[in-house]
């Protein structure tokens, strides 16, 4: 991945400080977002069902296949062959959206469900 400069201080979202132009070392996003490259893939989010967790349409999802999905994790699953990003509710055997417009998706016995990976991060596009 291309190196980008990293500023030594945070960027003010109020009044800018004239001292905030000091650059630190180069930033490699892979080092921050991807811990296991061989087990990681990226996917584009489609729709608004996860916006309550800050995942919006067209955001980039960083998904780690090496993690064991736990109750409450945001996961990418293939449900009957269709990929979707949802919250895993292991206690009630269902997938949850993060938008009240969408109902929970029950996981029925015999239904084909493959957890493709756990969403570790998302990158917002503005």
Residues tagged active-site: 49, 86
Cα–Cα distance, 99 to 48 (Å, whole number): 7
Range 98-109 burial, b when 16+ CB lie within 10 A, else e = beeebeebebee
With vertex at residue 71, the alpha carbon angle to CA 66 and CA 32, rounded to the nearest 5 degrees, is: 45
Name the residue among 118, 109, 98, 107 with its Cα closest to residue 49. Answer: 98
* Contact partners, residue 75, CB within 8 Å, separation at least 6: 69, 85, 86, 87, 88, 115, 116, 117, 118, 119
């Amino acid at each position: 991945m291309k190196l980008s400069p990293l500023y030594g201080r945070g960027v003010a979202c109020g009044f800018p400080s004239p001292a905030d132009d000091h650059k630190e070392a180069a930033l490699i996003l892979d080092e921050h977002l991807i811990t296991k490259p061989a087990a990681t893939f990226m996917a584009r989010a489609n729709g608004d069902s996860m916006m309550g967790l800050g995942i919006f349409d067209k955001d980039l999802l960083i998904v780690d296949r090496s993690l064991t999905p736990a109750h409450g994790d945001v996961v990418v699953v293939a449900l009957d062959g269709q990929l979707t990003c949802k919250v895993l509710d292991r206690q009630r055997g269902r997938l949850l959206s993060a938008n009240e417009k969408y109902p929970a998706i029950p996981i029925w016995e015999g239904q084909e469900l493959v957890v493709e990976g756990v969403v570790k991060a998302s990158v917002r596009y503005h």
